[in-house]
Amino acid sequence: MHPDPAERRSALSHIAGSEGQTHAVMVDVSAKLPSARRACARAVIAFPAGLLERVLLEGGPKGPVTEVARVAGIQAAKRTSEWIPMCHTLPLEHVEIEFARLTPDTLEVRCTAACTGKTGVEMEAMVGASAAALVVYDMTKALSHEIALARVELLEKSGGKSGTWRRAP
């Protein structure tokens, strides 16, 4: 039996049991109806002064940084259930990776994921953004070990019972 919605929001969905007798569970979505799901997440990469310009103009020591990272992010999003133990395997219908300069020394990686399914695609979007950012780091670390992944966060999600959510600006 499921707790009422207010209790569910305060409970961890992947933990069952009580009083020190808890265990990990995969959420049962078998009774849910499929619906359109979409999520967008981002990872932010901070570069030492002047380095991002060089990377974007010349590429990195290992090749065209953003294109290799784009492919890696898409591939990672498609394999999220292999990264995150309690994630359901979802038939993604769309994954997009975009790059934008936020400041002269900060690069944003956005991943948007979508499918028609019984559970959301937030983790797929976050894994895609994270993997793409990690590949940017890997491909540029020979230039500086000061490059840092500054944050990974969900920006918005839609679909399912809880509807649409957007991070406040």
Residue 18 counted as domain residue: no
Domain that residue 60 falls in: 29-166
Predicted pLDDT of residue 30: 85
Would you give per-residue pLDDT tens digits along the chain (169 residues)? 444 444 445 577 766 677 778 777 788 888 888 999 999 999 999 999 999 999 998 876 667 899 999 999 999 999 999 999 889 999 999 999 999 999 999 999 999 999 999 999 999 999 999 999 999 999 999 999 999 999 999 999 999 888 999 999 8
Q: Are 159 and 93 in contact (CB under 8 A)?
A: no
Q: Which DSSP state fits 4?
A: P
Q: Is residue 94 part of a domain?
A: yes
Provide the number of structural domains found in the chain.
1
Residue 6 lies in a domain: no
Active site residues: 138
Q: What is the dihedral of CA 76, 82, 84, 90, to 10 degrees?
A: 80
In a domain, residue 7? The reply is no
pTM of structure: 0.86
The CATH code of the domain that includes 144 is: 3.30.70.640
